[in-house]
Amino acid sequence: MKYCVQKEGANMVESELFSTILRLTLALAAGGLVGLERSFHGRPAGFREHTLVCISACMLMLLADYHVLRAAAAGHSDAFLDPTRMAQGIMTGIGFLGAGAIVKEGFAIRGLTTAASIWMIAAIGIMIGMGYYVAAGAATFATFNINYVFRLIEGRMNLESYAHFHVRFARGEAPSERDLRVILADCGCEPSGISYGLVGEGRWFEYQSLIKTLGKENLNKLADRLSANPYVIEFGIAPRGD
């Protein structure tokens, strides 16, 4: 009887060890795959960050999962242990990490996709840690395709682009708002709410607006048009990032 108990305990330890190594390996593969795509595109959170997040989420869920099993094996069946609380804590903490990947560069906001990717890879790590391999595999495949394949699709689509626009002319040489709208229209750009006024202690006349266009090449066309205008003192076109 004693031999049977020892053998059963050894089998349980061996099974737990195999399951732990398998889950951590899958978490390494999932985080590495998604992270490589982010690193390839020069994002602030790439291969190492995604891999660490996925493995750490997996380890914490292994802790919660095996804690429940060990408590049941020890005869504490009346104890209430909820592994989902660990998942809630993980996702809350990852939210702060994702927020650090979001940066504002002028009028552009970048890092939203990377932040969402970090949040997603944490969820994948949680699923691997709990042993939901099919769901984790499907989520990894979907995340990789969303980050990589969808980027290629977006590159072929004629999407609306927005940019913050300002241009300065010498005082007394600025075109009228109607003439400026004609210049923008010729370049395929549509302004929204043009504002204007004197700047630089009254030396320059400045127009500001949020412009919309189909195709970012129109912004290059507008820049060339303004560069060739001898009355333009200064201009800026700042595309809005995502």
- Tell me which residue of 125, 95, 99, 120 sits closest to 44, measured CA to CA: 99
Helix, strand or coil, per DSSP, at residue 74: coil
Contact, 37 vs 107, CB < 8 A? no
What is the percentage of the chain residues whose pLDDT exceeds 90?
32
Q: Which of 57-61, 156-160, 234-238 has the lowest mean pLDDT?
A: 156-160
At 234 the pLDDT is 92
At 226 the pLDDT is 93
- 39-60: average pLDDT: 84
CB-based burial label for 64 (10 Å; 0-12, 13-18, 19+): buried
At 78 the pLDDT is 57
DSSP code for 44: S
Contact, 94 vs 122, CB < 8 A? yes
Cα of first residue to Cα of last residue in the chain, in angstroms, is: 65
Mean pLDDT of all residues belonging to the chain: 82
DSSP code for 131: T
Q: Say which residues have a Cβ less than 8 Å from residue 176's Cβ, sequence separation at least 6.
A: none
| Distance, CA of 238 to CA of 211 (rounded, Å) | 10
- 34-56: average pLDDT: 83
Reported in sequence order, the residue ranges of 9-119 that DSSP labels E, i.e. its strands, are 103-105, 108-110
Contact, 39 vs 46, CB < 8 A? yes
What confidence tens digit (pLDDT) does each residue in 96-132 have? 887 877 777 665 677 788 888 899 999 999 999 888 8
- 16-27: average pLDDT: 88
The phi and psi torsions of 46 (rounded to 5 degrees) equal -120, -130
Structural domains of the chain in order of their starting residue, each with its CATH number: 2-156 (no CATH), 161-239 (3.30.70.260)
Q: What is the helix (H) or strand (E) element at residue 187, kind and residue range?
A: none
Contact, 49 vs 98, CB < 8 A? no
**Selected residue with higher pLDDT from 1 and 225:** 225
- With bands split at pLDDT 50, 70 and 90, how would you rate the model's confidence at 195? very high
Largest CA distance in the chain: 103
At 145 the pLDDT is 87
